[in-house]
Structure 1
Amino acid sequence: MKPSTLFATASIALLPNLAIAQDSEPQTIPFEGGNFTIVENAEGEKVLAYEGKELARNYVAFHDRTVEVSDTNVAIFAVGDGGNACSPETVLAWKTEAGIQSTTIGAGKCDTPSPAVTAYNIFFIPYPLPGETLPVTTWDPESGLTMHGNLAYAPQPGTDWSDLTPKTYEDGIVAAFKNEAVYNAAQQLLGDDLPGFATSLLINGGTEPLPSGAFYASGCVPHACGVSDGFIAIDAKARKLYLAQQTEAEPKAWPALATWPAEFRDALTKALANE
């Protein structure tokens, strides 16, 4: 299965920093008259240090870039567990008269937003799922990490059922919620459950056509496939959605499963059997 496509922000183009495999060769990064080093220890962890002072450690650690923020040079590192389901934490390091300073953004959390750098701040802009609103934070050397505002998911205005084609969503059915008609229909069916349902589709393998011209897709929650897998069928001609999520008993469905046409019930049975 391919992971679904994540969403770019409007004003600052960002991509999620995915933790990747890394070789064991030591790394040296010159900075402000000294050196950062990334060295693998006996446990296989990569240890990030500056002139012998440890700043962070984990199974993946790499230098993203060095930037200037408010006239201060700041080295940006990504440090994480590895794998492709959670982005790494961001370690910022800068030098003052007291020596090297560092802070970790997103410690212990999954999907830490990637840093977006401006002349005076580093912004951490999240990727809200459909129905979700998430905080935007900003960092500078003087104030540290502070709250900046909130970012809410929104569909593309003016998009409708006629814009939907199965091919569009082969790399990620969650992107279907960017269609305003789909998003509004999903909100009516799910209400506050929309973000959780969208999470159940994040890992998915593309769309499947149905004889009527409708199409469907199924997926699962990262690191939890087979637990609460999701299903979505889109009938653009009838302007309807059929949504379901796996439970220990009969799948939870919106609208009620008994009201589904046979074509969509059969697709749901097939999809869950293949998960």
Structure 2
Amino acid sequence: MLAFDGQKLASNYDVFFDRIVNIAGAKVALVDVGDGNIDHLCGPPVMIVWKPKGGTVQGITVEQDGCGAPASVTDNSLYFVPYLLPGASKRVMQWSPQDGLTISGNLTYMPDPGTGWKDVDASKYEDMIDAFHNEAVYRDAETLLGKDMAILAASFLAAGGTKKTASDIVYFDGCAPHNCGGNHGFMAVDQTNHKLYFARSSGKPRMDVWPAVETWPADIKAALDKALGSPN
């Protein structure tokens, strides 16, 4: 629980004091307040605590979809810039003692401009999400996945490294943290033929596959079967 002079400000599973900063002459405390964040997909919401001149202690929580964002400090404002997965767009929030919490703008995930299939270098991938930095890969993935891109990208957050088929096609499987049964993803990148292959198991009887599994080369289909099981 977070309280000041007997005034309860917040209560949750996780209450963690971060730091005190000076914003426009006001001392402001930043406190992480969340439910433990067991899925690890994002940080906990942030509570801003301050005392206006002549007033009582105030607290306001900054979050989007249950997620917090790191606070960037300037002399006059706090900015909360969210971490984005491929396909995602979120608000950048701004706070000051004078104006309170406002929307500074929208932030959208973007690939590196001008990068094409010739620039793909899977040896540099720390994880498969790095593949989406390439503009050609990103645009092709966007065409295949549409609105499902962000949730599929979340399935790559907890995993090992990349592997290769006998035909030198790079592939990878991973899970949303602590949720392999609900979001287990697969991706293959065929640089030679400029093709992408995706699959996602979410506990439903049939997994989602892009494009239709009947069009997959045999060695990529075999890699999928080994990683996630057969989609049929």
TM range (shorter): 0.7 to 0.9
Q: Deviations over 1:233-268 (max 9, x none)?
A: 011122111111225334322111001110000000
Q: Deviations over 1:180-209 (max 9, x none)?
A: 121011012122322222223232222112
**Does the 8 A contact of 1:166 with 1:208 survive in 2?**
no
Q: 1:227 to 1:100 in 2, by over 3 A?
A: closer
Distance in structure 2 (CA, Å) of the matches to 1:217 and 1:192: 21
Offset at residue 134 of structure 1 (A): 1.2
Q: 1:265 to 1:132 in 2, by over 3 A?
A: same
- Report the counterpart of residue 165 of structure 2 in structure 1: 210
Q: Deviations over 1:68-100 (max 9, x none)?
A: 112211111112223444411211111121222
Is 1:150 aligned with 2:150? Answer: no
- Report the counterpart of residue 61 of structure 1 in structure 2: 15
Distance in structure 2 (CA, Å) of the matches to 1:89 and 1:186: 30
Distance in structure 2 (CA, Å) of the matches to 1:263 and 1:216: 11
For the aligned residue pairs, the C-alpha RMSD in angstroms reads: 2.1
Is 1:102 aligned with 2:56? Answer: no
Q: 1:98 to 1:250 in 2, by over 3 A?
A: closer
SS at match of 2:192: coil
Worse overlay, 94-103 or 82-91: 82-91
Q: 1:227 to 1:63 in 2, by over 3 A?
A: closer
Worse overlay, 160-169 or 134-143: 160-169
Distance in structure 2 (CA, Å) of the matches to 1:189 and 1:150: 24
The residue identity in structure 2 corresponding to 1:77 is V
For residues 250-265 of structure 1, the aligned pairs below 5 Å read 250-265=206-221
The residue identity in structure 1 corresponding to 2:60 is T
The residue identity in structure 2 corresponding to 1:105 is V
For residues 185-224 of structure 1, the aligned pairs below 5 Å read 185-224=140-179
**Does the 8 A contact of 2:41 with 2:154 survive in 1?**
no
Distance in structure 1 (CA, Å) of the matches to 2:212 and 2:205: 15
SS at match of 1:219: strand
The residue identity in structure 2 corresponding to 1:62 is F
Distance in structure 2 (CA, Å) of the matches to 1:249 and 1:60: 36
Counterpart pick for 1:231 among 186, 202, 206: 186
Offset at residue 138 of structure 1 (A): 0.8
Is 1:162 aligned with 2:121? Answer: no
Identity of aligned residues (%): 42
Which ranges of structure 2 fall in alignment gaps of 5 or more residues? Answer: none
More RCO (CA 8 Å, sep 6+): 1
Offset at residue 223 of structure 1 (A): 4.3
Distance in structure 1 (CA, Å) of the matches to 2:226 and 2:209: 15
Which ranges of structure 1 fall in alignment gaps of 5 or more residues? Answer: 1-46
For residues 10-159 of structure 1, the aligned pairs below 5 Å read 47-82=1-36, 83=38, 84-96=40-52, 97-106=54-63, 109-159=65-115
Q: Deviations over 1:4-30 (max 9, x none)?
A: xxxxxxxxxxxxxxxxxxxxxxxxxxx
Aligned residue pairs, count: 226
The residue identity in structure 1 corresponding to 2:200 is Q
**Does the 8 A contact of 1:85 with 1:223 survive in 2?**
no
SS at match of 1:137: strand
